[in-house]
Structure 1
């Protein structure tokens, strides 16, 4: 028996990294999982990696018409949505003086606008007692140089969890956030570009700052997501679950 048997779940940004890892775990726990991605080739590759139990929908969370189409598909095929993992997001490195308007708008459109309207448009499909998980970050609690735009979007995600948990408590809908630390994903390593040595140095630098002495892996975040999606966390809402090796705690 899986912890999510019979559940229908949506993982936005489910084609790589944390999203893909969580989608795989949700399927193994018995859920039917919808995943989204902006690029068809990556979406197809993710579906192949997940296997039976996943449905892919090409969708950009920053485009409301894409979200409308996504939830129409879920409604027609499944009729409800028991678990929402709002994970789609982007990050980049840029000093305050160098951030462009285009970069600012792109980051907020995907990370904040996309998350907000994903939740709003999911509401009609969420039954009483549904669970919602938002991807925040340790960056929401820290002042990380050259990431101020991204940091602010993750602080918004953290407050969305608090606000929506309060607003939806009467329906028994639980809303929580996961705040990963440095997790070895294509997105994290991509901050160092394509150079192998630069990527190794990035990982080593992160490891030196983490009390547990290493970067995390996707499965560790997926375990936290299963906990929040399942009845194991039935008395947990509005919370922030750090999966960061102690980085923001010690």
Structure 2
């Protein structure tokens, strides 16, 4: 049987691989030297990157401080994996962007300054800790995190427009947080909900009904707030909430990093 690489030029092989997925491209690169070269080409990885990736990079904090972003100097494959493993700060520096490793779909995180925290700007209830202020806390990608001093009414709200997300994708929303060494009153269940603000359909669950936190590789904790499907047709606003205002016990020691939105793994 004739070897396909002796019949088709590398560009054709690359075109075929570009119609697969990032994980398939990585597997196909092991087939032969010709496949390895084709699978690493810009043609392949350009197609795996989000269509508006260049615009997003231009909004990064590093691009704003210099005329040329170092990311633009990378090959498309290196750029892809850089955005997988190294989220970039965009806009005012209180949001980050990354891509999902196995699908290339967009991931965003709203930093604590980008979400609405009830009484968040009142120093007797919350304080803001910068990166260099606490060697105890996990490393933050944002300039500051919110540290709960003492409240009885806990309410955290984030909103995002679907037009910035990948279309036809189910997203999960996750509160990213940790607990300080000294804390109080954080053992009670919280209410979480995620839905569109127009014709709101909430996904409400008590914490004791199965929404358990998990530890991340970056040493922060996360708890799923809910999920939604982005139809990709009209721009809508997703409302994400977490709160506790039934027991009204005094709480302290919660440290909010932000709210992350990322594609949910297919089961």
TM-score norm. by structure 1 comes to 0.31
Which one has a larger percent strand, Structure 1 or Structure 2? Answer: 2
Which one has a larger percent helix, Structure 1 or Structure 2? Answer: 1
TM-score norm. by structure 2 comes to 0.30
